A and B are shown apart, each in its own frame.
Chain A
Amino acid sequence: MSTTSNSITPDLNKLPFKTRIRPYLIVAPALIITIGIMIPFIMAIFLSLTNYSFRRPTFSFIAFQNWSRILSSREFWHALWVTIQYAFFSTLVEMVLGVCIAMLLNSLNNWFSKFLRVALIFPLMIAPITATIVWQLMLNSSVGIVEKFLNIFGVFNFPWAAAPSTAMLTVVMIDMWVNTSFVMLLVLAGLQSLPKSPFESAKIDGGSAWFNFVNLTLPMLKPSLYIALLFRLMSALQEYAIIFGLTKGGPGDTLMNLSLTSYQTGFKFQRIGQSLPYILVLWIIVFFTAKFIVKKQRAAQRQAAGLES
């Protein structure tokens, strides 16, 4: 994404001051509007070191008491574990399924695959909270269609979100329903922009389909795959709407991830100071995971560029 060859002002130091600050002035409004919203972030770090609560008129500085209490609590480690499980399973399933569907769509060129290329974007465009409500209706044991479907196979009263053992499966399934199309769209675009010539020479060399996939398709697809992974993992780590809509974190605390635990401590129990370490830890995880994936993506992009030539 380098633009050096495309720029208007190549040498910075020889230009008059007015020209030099112009780009900053143009960017400023956008930055100020968004930075204004990020003041809370600085505040969050400070408040996490206090005993601030909506219930008390004053608050005092208590250094790392919140942090040490939360890092040694069971809630925190449970929430962290739920967050990681949810992010891992939903991202894994969506990536694998998304790649498979994209490969299928790419290899077929009939009316059905053309129709699906359009229709499969619908789940992605519906609000996740709406999707969750629709799934709740489908899984409902009195009017739900899924119950009737499972009855055919002799399965009765499958508990779905109501039982701790199947609640994670249920939210991951809904997340998968909403977001698999995202991976599918990115991979399909990647597949369709693959250059033809490496595959033609591979054909002459007589490589098997599997050999071509591992040594040509996959490396050249990697940049798109990393982008899909980045976006999916980032939002799965922070998922709020789907879990909140389905069970509000229940049954019990089965689905209380870091976002929900932080929300509950802050808004329901009104202990702001104590609610912030949860979400700050989440932010640190998100930040470093994103940095790592972006680095990988750039390396993959360079490798793919080498293969194409």
Chain B
Amino acid sequence: MNKGSKRLLTITQNGLLFIYAIFALFPLIWMVLLSIKSDTQMYTTTFNFTPTLSNYTEVLLKTDYFKYLLDSLIVAGGAVIISVIAGVPAAYALARYDFKKKEDIAFQILSFKFAPEILVVLPLFMIYQTLGLYDSYFGLIWVYQLISMPLLIWVVRGYFEDISVEIEHAAQVDGYSWYQIFFKMLLPLIKPGLVSAALLAFIFAWNTFTFPLLLAGSKIQPITVAITKFLGTDTAHYGQLAVAATVSALPAIIFALCIQKHLVRGLSFGAVKG
């Protein structure tokens, strides 16, 4: 290939990427732009306007917005904590021990991720009504396990498998107990992987819509459900809707930036080691 056509190829490649980048990123820029635009300028201009924070004060101070964020935090955070406590030992057992039905159990756990959400929600709605779990933090945290547990177990299992079993044997020979090995040696070794799996599980739980829509009512309203109300009640206040969307997206984006290196591995449940 000569120099001229190679140059042309690079320009084309950059150009194609640029077009896709506009498609992928412009909606986000637009969302932020709307959030700092006043209602009066909403219809008249696109880019020429005087930025204002009035939408932010309106949404953050005069609505229950922080309560919705807190609900999301409690439910998603609670779900991840329970998944970590129950899931990390399970991941260890699935990585290290050989026992009958091991792969079956591992796939059983993975299959929860692929179960249609509505299939779970319909009967669960009735059970929750009778048990009094409908519209409760505990009920939502429990059902969120279907999102966070498979992810955590499968990803962390992969990180345990990466550690050579020889290290454990050596520590055993040195007289360390199983608990000491697990907490003092293995956990610190998988810590980066564990933290990123937990943060990704949190993002998924934070973003989920179907479960809280159908299993929570007026008392508990995670942000994904609450945001649809900004759409319904007052259609003229697009700026406020944009604020609600922007602020609710921030935690997920910030966490995603923190776990960039482990993201592919988490997203593919450990199948693709990025």
Contact = CB atoms under 8 A, between A and B. Distances in A.
Contacts of B224: 127, 129-130
A133 B119 contact: no
Contact of A9 (B16, B42, B97, B241): B97
A40 B23 contact: no
Which interface residue of A3, A7, A112, A189 has the most chain B CB atoms within 10 A?
A3
Nearest to B108: A31
Interface stretch (A153-161, A195-203, A275-283): A275-283
Contact of A116 (B21, B114, B146, B214): B21
A137 B242 contact: yes
B116 A122 contact: no
Contact of A267 (B86, B96, B214): B214
Size bracket of the B interface: 35 or more
A244 B30 CA distance: 23
A41 B90 contact: no
A76 interface: no
B116 A282 contact: yes
B170 to A, nearest CB: 13
A186 to B, nearest CB: 5
Contacts of A134: 27-28, 30-31, 242, 245
Contacts of A283: 115-116, 119
Contact of A145 (B30, B117, B125): B30
Contacts of B81: none
B149 A127 contact: no
A108 interface: yes
B20 interface: yes
Contact of A41 (B95, B97, B98, B115): B115
A101 B146 contact: no
Interface in B83-103: 83, 86-87, 89-90, 92-100, 102
B93 A23 contact: yes
B124 A40 contact: yes
Interface in A128-180: 128-131, 133-138, 140, 142-143, 145, 148, 177, 180
Main secondary structure of the interface of A (DSSP, over half): helix
Interface in B218-273: 224, 227-228, 231, 238, 241-242, 245, 248-249, 252-253, 255-257, 260, 263-264, 267-268, 271-273
A181 B24 contact: yes
A26 B86 CA distance: 8
Interface of A: 1, 3-4, 6-10, 12, 20, 22-24, 26-27, 29-31, 33-34, 36-41, 43-44, 47, 97, 100-101, 104-105, 107-108, 110, 112-113, 116, 118-131, 133-138, 140, 142-143, 145, 148, 177, 180-182, 185-186, 188-190, 192-193, 223-224, 227-228, 231, 234, 238, 240-241, 244-245, 259, 262-263, 266-267, 272, 275-276, 279-280, 282-283, 286-287, 290
22 contacts: A8-B168, A9-B99, A23-B97, A26-B93, A33-B82, A41-B119, A120-B25, A124-B256, A125-B252, A125-B255, A129-B227, A134-B28, A137-B30, A223-B272, A231-B268, A238-B116, A238-B118, A266-B118, A275-B122, A279-B122, A286-B116, A290-B114
